[in-house]
Chain A
């Protein structure tokens, strides 16, 4: 076409805007900008903050619950007045054998012992080695401990009276050969692993939903059109995953720190080293699992245009996570079973099953490496194929985009 009219005086081929302050737009800068927006937006979102606090409280609650169950190893206070020699030591010994932690106090006479029982200072008072004072009823285990102690001492006395050395009563000591030498430690690691995968599951679902909602919001509000004119789809996807990943990881760290601190303080776990190792391992698996889940959820979100349709497309993903949780709990009960072994290598499931296996069973180092490699390979595949679906589906209009159509759709450069 010929020359345009009316523009002769200012047809310089450059505009007169000052560009000296412009930033070089590397991919990492763009991804950083997107991630920054995600983080700032979420931190200002009341819904997000409230749900986050709810999750933290929920996890703390489950830790406290575990503490209460664990501390069920009850202690009892017993008073004695009169009775055979070595009586108090015998009661403590018998109680210990029955799993009770007995604290024995000697009283001068029956009336002071009775007062102590009435004021609930002690659970029971043994008078003269032949009667027991209690408020309502005698705890079975405590009763057994007391009668065991009296019987033992009486038998020893009678034998001594007959001239038999009490030595004969020394119980045959049993040689206990533990098949799992660190059974206690494994239990503790198992507990930490269980709480951790529960936490993992909750956070993965929670943040997966947030990512998918964010993707749908950009589609539903059509802001995606403005964004993709300046940003590549994969940069947008990566920014979202990293942004929400930072928030999720921060939340996980807070919960782990408080939870672990609390558990150590309340003596739920006594081997902090092992527990910390388990937590660190769970954190590592969380990073892998989060990347995979976030990418999958984002791709699903891109397939729909309305928040109402979101749950339908997310259902299969949610089911995978539920399956992983169930398998992980099963693995906790039978860490060396075939099911646990196989599923600990299956990507996505491995995120939750493998940490449990490591914490409760014996896992060779190469098994962990293999599971991690399989997981990384899956992440690469999902990000590549999912990224194509994501970019193909993002600009699709109305209703639900089919995966095949999204893959075939024009790819935005």
Chain B
């Protein structure tokens, strides 16, 4: 387990992280969401030893993360950075070796990654000669080259075209399958929703929501019941004393219950007013969960 435990950090009087705690399990893909400046990058940099927490610690397998453990972490910083004039395969090899690989293993891993990314032909080119998209791929390769036990990726999908997103997602899925916990931050919530097992939402330096997407949905306070009765107006619903109608359009009614246990009563009332073609709890999107969590 990769555990973030009670992280606290302030720059001057500006409190950036206020008791941030969450856990990423092996093989879990954890999406880290939050508005700009919410503290995602600071949290990740603390895990990598690039910033020091005022309180709290990050643990991997119950051990506080030190330099030794950090070598087993693949990291992609928010601000991309590699040696502009160094041939890409050489720098990947260098990073592999800095993370403890022997020369042969680092060389092999670097070539395999570049070939997998369709950059095999460019491996001897200096990084600066590659397009920005390809530089982004190399940056990711630098995080993956040492076959890390943990992946911490800061906005790995930003700047990638849809093909790049799919390739990266496939690569991460494979790592995940091997039991690697993957923590990545993103503000592309649709992507997080699609890829992640678990989500943490950071706002104002606090984790305001954390859990699997399913758990977050269940926890959603303003859950809506969606009932569709073709050709009906929503009067049948408004006449019920125990619901609040949020919207009523073309026979589709979205309503909230004061007591969620009375959903079956709503169904009975709906069936009495006409042929019900849809009845169910509406799945809130991550965007909605996010908005509500951040607003709370």
> Are A11 and B95 in contact, CB atoms less than 8 angstroms apart?
no
Contact with B along A272-306 (1 / 0, CB 8 A): 00000000000000000000000000000000000
Contact pattern, B 81-107, Cβ under 8 Å of A = 1, otherwise 0: 111111000000011011111101100
Q: How far is the CA of A257 from the CA of B219 in the complex (A)?
A: 79
Residues of B within 8 A of A225 (CB): 50, 77, 79, 81
With a CB–CB cut-off of 8 A, which chain B residues contact A228?
A: 48-50
Would you call A4 and B81 a contact (CB within 8 A)?
A: no
User: B residues within 8 A CB of A15?
Assistant: 26, 147, 149, 178-180
A217 partner residues in chain B, CB cutoff 8 A: 83-84
B73 interface residue (CB < 8 Å to A): yes
Q: Which of B48, B84, B86, B180 contacts A229 (CB 8 A)?
A: B48
Interface membership of B61, Cβ < 8 A: yes
> Is B86 within 8 A of A33, CB to CB?
no
Q: Does B61 lie within 8 Å of A13, measured CB to CB?
A: yes
Would you list which residues of chain A between 170 and 193 have a CB under 8 Å from chain B? none
Which residues 187-237 of A sit at the B interface, judged by CB distance below 8 A? 217-218, 221-232
Is B49 a contact partner of A229 (Cβ separation < 8 A)? yes
Q: Which residues of B have CB within 8 Å of A22?
A: 100-102, 105
- Answer whether residue A163 sits at the interface, using C-beta atoms and an 8 A cutoff: no
Partner of B98, one of A11, A30, A413: A30
Asked whether A4 lies within 8 Å of B66 as measured between CB atoms, the reply is no
B50 contacts A17, CB within 8 Å? no
Would B210 and A1 count as touching, CB distance under 8 A?
A: yes
Taken residue by residue from 222 to 264, chain B's Cβ proximity to chain A (1 for < 8 Å, 0 otherwise) reads as 0000000000000000000000000000000000000000000
Q: Which residues of A contact B214 (CB under 8 A)?
A: 5
A7-B27, A21-B102, A395-B50 known; A33 vs B75 contact (CB < 8 Å)? no
Q: How far is the CA of A1 from the CA of B2 in the complex (A)?
A: 12
The reply to whether the CB of B283 lies closer than 8 angstroms to some CB of chain A is: no
User: Are A412 and B82 in contact, with the CB atoms below 8 A?
Assistant: no
Asked if B122 is at the interface of the complex by the 8 Å CB criterion, the answer is no
- Is the pair A21, B49 in contact by a Cβ cutoff of 8 Å? no
Shortest CB distance B45–A (Å): 8
Measured CA separation A41–B77 after assembly (Å): 24
The answer on a CB contact under 8 Å between A412 and B50 is yes
Given contacts A223-B82, A413-B52, contact A7 B211 (CB under 8 A): no
Q: Is the CB of B98 within 8 A of A7?
A: no
- Is A137 an interface residue when CB atoms closer than 8 A count as contact? no
A85: interface (CB < 8 Å): no
A43 → chain B closest CB, angstroms: 13
A15 to B181, CA, bound (A): 9
Does A6 make an interface contact (CB < 8 A)? yes
Q: Which residues of B contact A404 (CB under 8 A)?
A: none
Query: Is there contact, CB below 8 Å, between A413 and B81?
Result: no
Do B98 and A231 have beta carbons less than 8 Å apart? Answer: yes
- Tell me whether A2 is interfacial, beta carbon within 8 Å: yes
* Nearest B-chain residue to A45, judged by Cβ: B85
Q: Is A50 an interface residue (CB 8 A)?
A: no
Closest Cβ neighbor of A24 among chain B residues: B100
CB pair B211 A23 closer than 8 Å = no
Q: Does B177 sit within 8 A of A, measured CB to CB?
A: yes
B83 CB to nearest A CB, Å: 6
Residue numbers in B under 8 Å from A155 (CB-CB): none
Our pick among A5, A10, A13, A223 for the contact of B1 (Cβ within 8 Å) is A13
Query: Smallest Cβ distance from B48 to chain A, in angstroms?
Result: 4
CA distance in complex: A218, B83 (Å): 7
User: Which residues of A are interface residues toward B (Cβ below 8 A)?
Assistant: 1-7, 10-17, 21-23, 25, 30, 33, 37, 41, 45, 217-218, 221-232, 395, 410-413
Give me 13 other A-B pairs in contact (C-beta within 8 A), A10-B178, A25-B71, A223-B81 excluded.
Answer: A4-B212, A7-B25, A10-B27, A10-B179, A13-B61, A21-B101, A21-B102, A22-B100, A218-B83, A223-B83, A230-B99, A395-B50, A413-B52
